[in-house]
């Protein structure tokens, strides 16, 4: 989701934690693809949202409220480009789409709202969302990809995984899932069209 479909603002998120909460440890936790420490535990589902908020607040300005933790974290999510919304709608007419995301229970409500406000509710675009905190496994672990392949139930050579982390792409390939790297800021529709055309499939209008 983040980095491929939803644009991210890592530095803006860090700034929000410092400005709104006085929480400077965020610099050691947040990363474009692979979160660390308590943030990583939150995304892996080994730490609850309540526990995460409590730990952050214990190191923040006295009197800081839990809702400020959520609001600061939401600063990482910018939005989804209109052309990607159109692309997803068109692709969903011909292909089964699945979302694979290292995500957490604080950001997911905001993420869902972004898609809804863009006119592409997750439940209408994707057949299933595989979320790290629900699966208690993170990309690029083999267990994450193996579980996804098993649950989808199709031969893996009929699948294509796209990620903005080369580490995640390499992990998926090692697990038997065909994958390509997407560079954030480039044209995602062009990448998909190129891959499908190489496989003998034309994607018109994207």
Cα–chain center distance at 56: 22
Which pLDDT score, from 0 to 100, does residue 203 have? 41
Give yes or no for residue 33 having a pLDDT over 80. no
**Chain-wide mean pLDDT for the chain?**
94
Q: CB under 8 Å to 100, separation ≥6 — which residues?
A: 130, 139, 144, 148, 161, 163
Which pLDDT score, from 0 to 100, does residue 34 have? 78
- Interval 101-121: pLDDT, tens: 999 999 999 999 999 999 999
Domains within the chain, CATH numbers bracketed:
6-74 (1.10.150.240), 81-198 (3.40.50.1000)
């Amino acid at each position: 989701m983040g980095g491929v479909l939803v644009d991210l603002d890592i530095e803006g998120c860090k700034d929000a934690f410092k400005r709104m909460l006085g929480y400077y440890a965020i610099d050691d936790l947040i990363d474009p693809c692979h979160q660390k420490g308590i943030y990583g535990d939150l995304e892996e589902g080994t730490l609850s949202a309540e526990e995460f908020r409590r730990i952050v607040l214990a190191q923040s300005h006295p009197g800081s409220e839990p809702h400020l933790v959520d609001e600061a974290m939401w600063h990482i999510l910018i939005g989804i480009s209109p052309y990607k919304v159109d692309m997803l709608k068109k692709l969903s007419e011909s292909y089964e789409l699945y979302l694979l995301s290292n995500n957490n229970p604080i950001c997911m409500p905001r993420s869902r709202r972004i898609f809804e406000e863009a006119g592409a509710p997750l439940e209408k675009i994707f057949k299933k969302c595989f979320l790290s905190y629900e699966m208690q496994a993170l990309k690029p672990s083999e267990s994450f990809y193996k579980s996804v392949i098993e649950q989808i139930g199709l031969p893996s050579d009929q699948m294509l995984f796209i990620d903005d982390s080369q580490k995640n792409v390499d992990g998926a390939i090692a697990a038997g899932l065909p994958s390509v790297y997407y560079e954030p800021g480039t044209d995602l529709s062009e990448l998909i069209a190129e891959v499908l055309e190489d496989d003998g499939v034309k994607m018109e209008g994207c």
